[in-house]
Chain A
């Protein structure tokens, strides 16, 4: 029997004065303004599976003035490295990183997608020299920022956003298995 389709509930605004959707954290990182639907991808990129006891909160598809809808994730006890922030930029180019110390925002950083990207992902072209030669770092020009699309400096082929996400998620799964 086909399940009856129901209309999705209207997403309420994230208004902490009326409803505390996610608790404040004492120390760690809040990744805000994540592209709606990508919070789990961000966690996966950070290698967070929940199996190692990390305390993580996420909110998905909450209303945002800037983005319409957005995701938020809070990771306790961990401040993200610049490499991790660069990888998050590939899937959530509008995100904001808030470093929290003692319940206060210690540092707020808006993610910026750079003009050039080095080493974060591989070129999607299997015949590209960067996929065959040892000791070479992949280098790309960013051709589109939302969603991020890259063009290889060497073979000039385009690596799509879907391919970038697949690579980043695949890489984090490998790291989690190690």
Chain B
């Protein structure tokens, strides 16, 4: 199936049918990913990764996805040592790199950077995170993990906990999960609430955004708890971070109040918002997310390259 859009910048670029198709294709990629062998699906195709911000999981999983499908990856080891350091614009970098590849995966600190790159580029652009904007492949792997574990995407009470202001993964997830559900629970420390325009968007779509600080009160109702790290690097000053850093923690004592079927997800990396003791419980789904990230990226690359 060919995707309607040439690029994947935001989850809103995809129809609900396309989201479900990507998840289905991702599941079919599992045998290839586990085989220890390389497919020929993307043989001869080249992926360029441009990461202007640090990344471990996203970058490695895209590169691994391309390798598993028989393609090759080129990248700039350190953007600060490239022409960007000489003042090159993003547009010029894209117009240069597109000559060497068939698809570009971009992570950039400025919101809207991937949309701009997609306007400029002749090859498909995949947004791997633009500031506190969007991270659509993360959302796809989140949805896949929820669907695998809960057996469905609808009729779920999903709660998002933590930094809902700067966390791009929750912004994309909020739009995506409310395609399947009429409400979403937002549990954030003061000052880190879901941006007003996203809450207004969801309400305009007829969705209920329930904002609370009472995690313990809301927890027994939840099927999914999506935990995020408070992103120290996005705060204007250390003092601002100190006000909210460490203000919540998911541990065994807290999970005693949860449904036995509650799934705890996290885009990782984590700091101290999920206690390591939770890793051994059936609630922990964050490592499953990491494997699904590989599968989703295999699916996305193959569909954007029409393989």
A interface residues (Cβ-Cβ under 8 A, vs B):
123, 125, 127-130, 132-136, 151-158
B116 A157 Cβ-Cβ under 8 A: no
- Residue in chain A with minimal CB distance to B112: A154
Number of interface residues, chain B, beta carbon within 8 A: 19
Instruction: Check A135–B112 contact: CB distance below 8 A.
Output: no
A157 engages B197 (CB within 8 Å): yes
Whether A132 pairs with B110 at a CB distance below 8 angstroms is: yes
The distance in angstroms between the C-alpha atoms of A154 and B115, with both chains bound, is: 6
A135–B196 CA distance with the chains assembled, in angstroms: 30
Whether A135 pairs with B89 at a CB distance below 8 angstroms is yes
Q: Smallest Cβ distance from B141 to chain A, in angstroms?
A: 22
Q: Do residues A155 and B197 form an inter-chain contact, with CB atoms below 8 A?
A: no
Instruction: Check B133–A155 contact: CB distance below 8 A.
Output: yes
Write out the residue numbers on chain A whose beta carbons fall within 8 Å of the beta carbon of B109.
127
Contacts of B130 in A (CB 8 A): 129, 155
**Chain B interfacial positions (CB closer than 8 Å to A):** 10, 89-91, 108-113, 115-116, 130-133, 195-197
- Smallest distance from the beta carbon of A143 to chain B beta carbons, Å? 9
Q: In the complex, which residue of chain A has the Cβ closest to the Cβ of B116?
A: A129
**A151 nearest in chain B by CB position:** B197
Query: Which residues of chain B have C-beta atoms less than 8 A from A151's C-beta?
Result: 197
Residues of chain B lying within 8 A (CB to CB) of residue A158 = 196-197
Q: Assuming A127-B131, A127-B132, A129-B116, is B111 touching A154 (CB within 8 A)?
A: yes
Interface centre among A136, A155, A158 (most CB of B within 10 A): A155
A128 and B197 in contact (CB under 8 A), knowing A133-B89, A156-B133? no
Contact of A129 among B112, B132, B195, B197 (CB under 8 A): B112
A95 → chain B closest CB, angstroms? 27
- Contact across chains for A153 and B115 when beta carbons are under 8 A apart: yes
**Distance in Å: Cβ of B218 to nearest Cβ of chain A:** 28
Contacts of B91 in A (CB 8 A): 133, 135-136
Chain A hits for B111, CB < 8 A: 125, 127-129, 154-157
Closest residue to B90 on the A side, CB-wise? A133
* Residues A129 and B108 in contact, CB atoms below 8 Å apart: yes
Q: Which of A132, A135, A158 gathers most chain B CB within 10 Å?
A: A132
16 new A-B pairs (CB below 8 Å) besides A128-B111, A129-B130?
A127-B109, A129-B108, A129-B111, A129-B115, A130-B112, A134-B89, A152-B112, A153-B112, A155-B112, A155-B115, A155-B130, A155-B133, A156-B10, A156-B111, A156-B112, A157-B197
Q: Name the residue in B111, B130, B197 with the highest tally of chain A Cβ atoms < 10 Å from its Cβ.
A: B111
Contact partners of A130 in chain B: CB under 8 A: 112, 116
Q: Shortest beta-carbon distance, B235 to chain A, in Å? A: 13
A111 to B110, CA, bound (A): 34
**Contacting residues, chain B, for A123 (C-beta < 8 A):** 112
**Min C-beta distance of B9 to chain A, whole Å:** 10
Instruction: List, sorted by A's number, 5 A–B pairs whose CB atoms are closer than 8 Å.
Output: A133-B110, A153-B112, A154-B111, A155-B115, A157-B197
Q: How far is the CB of B111 from chain A (nearest CB, A)?
A: 4
10 closest A-B pairs (Cβ-Cβ)? A154-B112, A155-B111, A155-B112, A129-B112, A129-B110, A129-B113, A158-B197, A154-B115, A129-B116, A127-B131
User: What is the minimal beta-carbon distance from B201 to any residue of chain A, in angstroms?
Assistant: 9
Closest to B92 in A: A135
Q: Chain A residues with Cβ under 8 A from B116's Cβ?
A: 129-130, 133, 136, 154
Which of A128, A135, A153, A156 touches B110 (beta carbons < 8 Å)? A128
Contacts of B132 in A (CB 8 A): 127
- The chain A residue sitting closest to B133, CB to CB, is A155
Shortest Cβ distance from residue A44 to the other chain B in the assembled complex, whole angstroms:
28
Enumerate chain A residues within 8 angstroms of B112, measured Cβ to Cβ. 123, 128-130, 152-156
**Complex contacts, B195 vs chain A, CB 8 Å:** 157
Given the complex, which residues of B lie within 8 Å of A136, measured CB to CB? 91, 116
A32 to B221 alpha-carbon distance, docked (Å): 57
CA distance A23 to B13 in the complex (A): 55
Residues of B within 8 A of A135 (CB): 89, 91
Q: Which residues of A contact B90 (CB under 8 A)?
A: 129, 133
Residue from the list B89, B108, B113, B197 in contact with A156, Cβ < 8 A: B197
User: In the complex, how many angstroms separate the beta carbon of A141 from the nearest chain B beta carbon?
Assistant: 12
Please measure, in the bound complex, the distance between the C-alpha atom of A154 and the C-alpha atom of B118, giving whole angstroms: 10
Which residue of chain A has its CB nearest to the CB of B91?
A135
**Contacts of A154 on B, CB cut-off 8 Å?**
111-113, 115-116
Residues of A near B133 (CB, < 8 A) are 155-156
Q: Which residues of A contact B131 (CB under 8 A)?
A: 127, 155
Scoring A128, A151, A154 by chain B CB atoms within 10 A of each residue's CB, the highest score goes to A154
